Amino acid sequence: MSEFRIKRDPAKLLGSAVARSTQTLGGRNMTVRPYSESDLEAVVVVFTSSVHVLGASEYSDAQRKAWAPQPPDLSYWRKRLRSLQTFVATDAAAVIGFLSYEPNGHIEFLYVAPQYARRGVASMLCARAETVLASSRVAELFTEASLVARPFFERVGFSVHRAREVSFGGASFTRYAMRKRLSAA
């Protein structure tokens, strides 16, 4: 795994969350709660490690560096997350995943720490966002999934509407426009 530095120790940052609602997954108590700005560095750690570790099977080193530069730009992340609704998943108060969405049903970010991949964290985050958006009478969720995320979104009911190549940071990526109809609220 590539390393990067943030001003404070990420291990300490990961333990600073306050719980809201808890669910047991695999014998562990996982909590999903609203993001707060104090979670910023932990969320960026999750994003960066997820891209560089989980994305290694599908993306080149150059693509991963373009997608998740090291060191990360915290001012970009602070501004970006302010414009979105975000939930964080925690385990023992450590941020282990996050999902960010817009009120119209667009899922912008869904990332899980590599050591928690395929343990139900993404499903728990997606279910929470789906419940909130359905209660707001949103009829459809949509996202632009990566090669790594596409199978997850298909498992939770999304379908691919089109694939397209996008360019970011000087690298090209395949993204899948995916949609999921929600039941009437």
Give pLDDT, residue 26.
56
State the Cα–Cα distance between residues 177 and 121, nearest whole angstrom: 22
153-171 pLDDT per residue, tens: 999 999 999 999 999 889 9
Tens digit of each residue's pLDDT (9 = 90 or more) over 120-155: 999 999 999 999 999 999 999 999 999 999 999 999
**CA–CA separation, 88 vs 108, rounded Å?**
14
Total-model pTM: 0.85
The residue to which tokens 């996202």 are assigned: 143
User: CB-side exposure of 45: number of CA atoms within 13 Å?
Assistant: 21
Q: Which pair of structure tokens corresponds to residue 46?
A: 């999750």
Q: How far is residue 67 CA from its own chain's centroid? A: 14
**How far is residue 124 CA from its own chain's centroid?**
12
> 135 by DSSP, 3-state: which?
helix
Domains and CATH numbers, the chain: 10-138 (3.40.630.30)
Q: Which two tokens stand for residue 132?
A: 């909130």
Which of 76, 55, 79 has the alpha carbon at shortest distance from 67?
Answer: 55
* Planar angle of CA 171, 176, 36, nearest 5 degrees: 80
Mean pLDDT for each 10-residue chunk of the chain (185 residues)? 36 34 62 96 97 95 95 96 97 94 98 95 96 95 97 97 94 97 76
